[in-house]
Structure 1
Amino acid sequence: MTSIRQFQVTFDCAEPERLARFWCEVLGYVVSSPPQGFATWDDFNRSLPPEQRDSSFSCADPSGVGARLYFQRVPEGKVVKNRVHLDVRVGTGLVGAERLAALEAECARLVPLGAVRVQLLVADEDNESCLVMQDIEGNEFCLD
């Protein structure tokens, strides 16, 4: 029998701390503790050569249930649609107008944080409605 493994979701990005703090707000996550041996993230960054400072950051579910999110700076920008994306579950169990209202309310909360509304996908015979969005670096995610 295969054992269950923990995992983290890693984002390649331009500004790790800024993107991590955005996702903390979206998901109710908290900034992870700095690497072992450092009291703060600033202490950790000061220990690195200048070109490596601010090159990574992470956040975690305070309950310990959800996956850790890790953000790493990369030199290239995003150029195509994500092959993997996060679904932020805000409408679970809701249908019709009630679901749409929950999606729209969450969208209204996230846009002032820098999220961008892309497209509302209205329910059909097989799927409930969802709202496609982008985070502050253009990564797609869905309000589901």
Structure 2
Amino acid sequence: MTIQMSTALRNALLDQIETTAGTAVKVQIRSGAQPANCAAADSGTLLAEFTLDSDWASAASAGVKTFTGLPKTATAGATGTAAHYRFKDNAGTTTHMQGTVTATGGGGDMTIDNTSIASGQSVQITSWTITAPGA
């Protein structure tokens, strides 16, 4: 049997992400396989880094957390193929979340406009939501 949670609990869990990570967090787009877990060292090449707005997500609703201010654009600092993201505190030192990156329509945890990135190119996060388990 799978665990089920009320919508109120699922929303509270999701809203805690913003409370824990803080304001003006960093999102790094990286090449290669993502690390085994958030405590592991960064892997791949850092292709682009975004600093999100102070209030970067709306309150969770129906067990879904939606990131605001999208699309969000940054300039690539390196060339490579985007494969994963790391979501860090505003100092960029603690990873709180990571996941896959695909081009828009590709089904990744986060979607960007183009996964083939060249240094100096604009990179855009086009969509990003998190759905809590237990529905």
Structures share a fold, TM > 0.5? no
Q: Which has the higher contact order (CA 8 A, sep 6+)?
A: 2
Higher strand share: 2
Q: Which has the larger radius of gyration?
A: 1
TM-score, normalized by length of structure 1? 0.29
TM-score, normalized by length of structure 2? 0.30
